[in-house]
Amino acid sequence: MNTTVRHSLGQYDVEVTGLRVVLDGLGDDDMIVTDDHVRAAVNLERDCFSIKPGELSKCLAVYGEVMDWLAQRASRSSRVVALGGGVVGDLAGFAAATFMRGVRLLQVPTSLMAMVDSSVGGKVGIDLAAGKNLAGAFWPPEKVQVPIDALGTLPSRHFTNGAAEVWKYAAIMDPALFDRLSSKPLALSDPNPAETVMRCIELKRVVVEGDEHETTGGRATLNFGHTVGHAIEQSMGYQGILHGEAVAIGMVAESLLGERLGLTDKQTTERIRGGLQSQGLPIKLPEGLDSRNLLEPMRRDKKADRNGLAFSLVSEIGTCKLLRGVAESDVLSALEKL
């Protein structure tokens, strides 16, 4: 199973493989960046840079440590290997994009979240105190190797966390996938997870090839649920909630916003809410989180402009578009209905 993603500088292959095949194929010039959980799970004994798991490691301080580590070991001919989930992929990718003005990058996503979303498309970056993913680059990998057997190492909460992105793809682009998920939510015991993973990768390939550098608004549709989701994560200090969990809440909130703006019908909102709930994902704001505190992070969202907030909203299952100039009062009204 594989596909090819084309971009302005060329193309790269995305292939489903096994974790041992990937590790055995690495050479002395491969600089592995991973996290402590993955390092232990795969019994990685060779030299690598291992970070603490979680979004708090995707920051300027850890980025600087990775760059210093590379400076002691790597050259222009080296390749950075991002072995881990989305945090590792974003951080290692940004290091690859900026070390010596750019070295080769191999993405090896080990979480469901990274497999179906963050490892494909060439977006890399880190968080700043002001907001999520505010420092970054477009830096396509040399290749993406998807070790599908790595899913067996995931705790059930992290698998469910990644399933949120699968539901997102279904909601914005694939009604048939949405129907299938509604009948049978994703599970670790699924006999052929590669089929679902590759379907999501194909969907993302279509979007990123059509809007590689986010200039037309097409790629912004991949942010359904993320404007609210990122604001939740930041307001909670990236603790106590995982990215997919926050995005799941965001998808329900943004569906309610679409209803208020006359774009989304109530049945679509209820299907999204019910589907996410059946997957075991949260659909309400965390207890104690004031919805008004989410506005400031949303104002710093990359889609926002002088005309107001911007959201990627689903009009019906399978159709999504970017809507600009959304009033904050409408957003608050939607959040109050969660």
Q: Report the catalytic residues.
A: 101, 123, 165, 204, 214, 219, 223, 226, 230, 243
pLDDT band for position 269 (cuts 50, 70, 90): very high
Q: How does 107-123 read in b/e, with b if 16+ C-beta sit within 10 Å?
A: bbbbbbbbbbbbbbbbb
Q: Can you give the pLDDT at residue 45?
A: 86
The amino acid at residue 271 is R
Is the Cα dihedral 314, 182, 196, 110 positive or negative? positive
Question: Is a pLDDT exceeding 90 seen at residue 111?
Answer: yes
* Percent of the chain clearing pLDDT 70 (strictly above): 100
94 within 8 A of 82, measured Cβ to Cβ? no
| Averaged pLDDT for residues 89-110 | 98
pLDDT of residue 296: 95
Q: Which two tokens stand for residue 2?
A: 């594989």
Tell me what pLDDT residue 32 has. Answer: 98
How far is Cα of residue 257 from the mean position of the Cα atoms in its chain? Answer: 22
Q: What letter would DSSP give residue 123?
A: E
**By the 8 A CB rule, do 312 and 223 touch?**
yes
Q: Which CATH architecture has domain 2-153?
A: 3-Layer(aba) Sandwich (3.40)
**Which residues of the chain does CATH 3.40.50.1970 include?**
2-153
pLDDT at site 326: 97
Angle (nearest 5°) at CA 241 between 124 and 180: 80
Residue range 242-268: mean pLDDT, rounded = 97
pLDDT tens by residue, 8-17: 999 999 999 9
* Domain(s) of CATH 1.20.1090.10: residues in the chain: 165-336
- Among the listed residues 148, 147, 122, 151, the one whose alpha carbon sits nearest the alpha carbon of residue 137: 122
Is residue 202 a contact partner of residue 209, using CB atoms and an 8 Å limit? no
- The domain defined by 165-336 folds into Dehydroquinate synthase-like, alpha domain (1.20.1090)
Tens of pLDDT, residue by residue over 22-62, are: 999 999 999 999 999 999 999 998 999 999 999 999 999 99
State the pLDDT at residue 31. 98
pLDDT at residue 123, as a whole number: 97
pLDDT in tens, 139-195: 999 999 999 999 999 999 999 999 999 999 999 999 999 999 999 999 999 988 999
Q: Read off the pLDDT of residues 281-321 as tens digits, 9 standing for 90 and up.
A: 999 999 999 999 999 999 999 899 888 999 999 999 999 99
- Per residue in 176-200, is it b (16+ CB within 10 Å) or e — as a string? ebbeebbeebbeeeeeebbebbbbb
The overall average pLDDT reported for the chain is 96
For position 307, what pLDDT does the model report?
Answer: 87
